[in-house]
Structure 1
């Protein structure tokens, strides 16, 4: 019988039940349910008194230092009154679980459960803008002893392009377009970088990583967060609206409500606002790189149709906003 290498394994929910019971003081574990295979593996943990979310990080995705910085950030935000899903302390006082999986060493952490669900209304867009601004303000005085990756132009452009390039060898004109566009986008941001607001970011504020419950909300999934430009962080919200609602989304009421509320609590400079459309194009390239880079785990579904759609969006967006 051949023994082959494994790219990714899904840990058994049944096997996790005694582990979580032994490590955490959260009462009887009634059920653990595997929810999703995303950037990390997510499980719903139903205990006798409340629910939790278990995240098992993919092997070689985030370093121990990256995760420890994220956990510190969440507790910093909670202590500053920012509503976030945060990690739960184990019986031994730590937060991380270390697992020996077939594909290699993996980390896991248990998080509080965010009540409510997604909501795409004008009122909640305004509330989201307020709370994101408060979150950014609270992040301004966050300091960690742990290293964390930086959301710079190498992270957002260079590494994604290197992931995309091998899959487009049969489309040399598109490789040339992406290469020249990446350089243009880099130049645009580098020209004004010193004037942009820089600090800790959530990294993935597309609107799917927040749950609304009555008149409150809870932020979660800071896995893509790190030091970066705040204009990029808020641009992700608009990018999500553009991708879902069409190319006129810059004037979309939800974006306007979000932006106005954000600026009431944390004003943006003209340079920050100028950078938003540029960061939307950058985000699209980052996403393509994320998909192609994770193809060994998620599947190689990045075919010609996929690239046709994404490159069409890039070309149209850049033309409309005088980027190309």
Structure 2
């Protein structure tokens, strides 16, 4: 009888509870339940004292292993600087992350303090402003951060060219067209960005779309999920929020303006970075398309077929926002 080779396995909550109890000095018994399964697997841990934690088990992605060393080092720096973030909990050996072996291979885990507060509202200008304020604090603290050697750089190869290649490969597998048109859009976008002078380089959150935060009782946005982050373009970090408010049929322009106002209340945004953010919306869309396309072996082709139908959004954004003057 032949054995099956797993691509991805789901770890039982009871197994996670035992794993966490073995690696972290939490008062037991621990109650554990899965909260989310996807790019990462997320579990809620409740200690005997009632204290709540979130354990995130990283998933292998097309880009490679999770860069938890860089992520947890940066988040610890942010916490020391007073930036509102979900801090990682030290393991018994003092490390900020752990590793465990699943059927498909080694996976990295991080235990975070669970955040209080509510989820942001998609059209709320107050929540958007709070996100802008916190992102500016992240970038401000990044100026004094001396990073460990990161696995990834959020450059155009990482964010655009490699994701495009994954989308094109997926299009060939399911015999979908438009791969050449997507190539043309990506080439024009890369040329436009590379021609811009003075773009700021920072340590990015990488996924600041407005919902990787909790809004505290005082209205502050407390950030989590830095696992898509790393050294990269500041304009890209801004663009993710703009993309989130205006992609997939959304029209939340006021939220974007509030986000920018919040950011500028803490730090300035250069004219070059602000203009580049609009071009990076296309980059962000390609990044997501590539992430989704790369999961077709795991999720199946049908759940990610939408990536072959995004030509209209990309062409419309390019024509409306980038041809003459940005929004």
- TM-score band by shorter chain is over 0.9
Matched, 1:225 2:226: no
Query: How is 1:260-279 mapped onto 2 (pairs within 5 angstroms)?
Result: 260-279=261-280
TM-score by structure 2 length? 0.91
Distance across 2 between alignment mates of 1:304 and 1:63: 25
Deviations 1:40-78 (A, max 9, x none): 1111111123110111112466547x2111111011000
Which position in structure 1 is the counterpart of 2:134? 131
Relative to structure 1, is the Cα distance of residues 3 and 113 closer, same or farther in structure 2, using a 3 angstrom cutoff? Answer: same
Which position in structure 2 is the counterpart of 1:258? 259
Contact 1:87 1:112 (C-alpha < 8 Å) held by counterparts: yes
Structure 2 unmatched runs, 5+: none
Cα distance, 1:304 vs structure 2? 5.3
Which position in structure 2 is the counterpart of 1:320? 320
Contact 1:205 1:236 (C-alpha < 8 Å) held by counterparts: yes
Distance across 2 between alignment mates of 1:85 and 1:305: 33
Which position in structure 2 is the counterpart of 1:239? 243
Relative to structure 1, is the Cα distance of residues 29 and 235 closer, same or farther in structure 2, using a 3 angstrom cutoff? Answer: farther
Distance across 2 between alignment mates of 1:323 and 1:67: 39
Which position in structure 1 is the counterpart of 2:76? 75
Which position in structure 1 is the counterpart of 2:57? 56
Pick the aligned partner of 1:177 from 163, 176, 181.
181
Distance across 2 between alignment mates of 1:138 and 1:75: 11
Cα distance, 1:268 vs structure 2? 1.1
Relative to structure 1, is the Cα distance of residues 131 and 85 closer, same or farther in structure 2, using a 3 angstrom cutoff? Answer: same
Which position in structure 1 is the counterpart of 2:101? 100
Distance across 1 between alignment mates of 2:277 and 2:97: 36
Contact 1:24 1:91 (C-alpha < 8 Å) held by counterparts: yes
Distance across 1 between alignment mates of 2:126 and 2:16: 40
Which position in structure 2 is the counterpart of 1:198? 201
Distance across 2 between alignment mates of 1:190 and 1:213: 39
Relative to structure 1, is the Cα distance of residues 31 and 304 closer, same or farther in structure 2, using a 3 angstrom cutoff? Answer: closer
RMSD of aligned alpha carbons: 1.9
Matched, 1:109 2:113: no
Distance across 1 between alignment mates of 2:264 and 2:304: 40
Which position in structure 2 is the counterpart of 1:294? 295
Contact 2:279 2:322 (C-alpha < 8 Å) held by counterparts: no
Distance across 2 between alignment mates of 1:245 and 1:181: 20
Deviations 1:267-322 (A, max 9, x none): 111111111211001111111101001222333225655522x2221121111113
Which position in structure 2 is the counterpart of 1:152? 155
Q: Which of the two has greater helix per residue?
A: 1
Matched, 1:11 2:14: no
Contact 1:278 1:323 (C-alpha < 8 Å) held by counterparts: no
Which position in structure 1 is the counterpart of 2:212? 209
Deviations 1:71-117 (A, max 9, x none): 11011000000011121111222232221111111111111111122
TM-score by structure 1 length? 0.92
Cα distance, 1:161 vs structure 2? 1.1
Relative to structure 1, is the Cα distance of residues 219 and 87 closer, same or farther in structure 2, using a 3 angstrom cutoff? Answer: same
Structure 1 unmatched runs, 5+: none
Relative to structure 1, is the Cα distance of residues 298 and 141 closer, same or farther in structure 2, using a 3 angstrom cutoff? Answer: farther
Deviations 1:8-41 (A, max 9, x none): 0111111222222222122123311112222211
Distance across 1 between alignment mates of 2:303 and 2:194: 30
Contact 1:115 1:218 (C-alpha < 8 Å) held by counterparts: no
Distance across 2 between alignment mates of 1:266 and 1:73: 19
Relative to structure 1, is the Cα distance of residues 5 and 82 closer, same or farther in structure 2, using a 3 angstrom cutoff? Answer: same
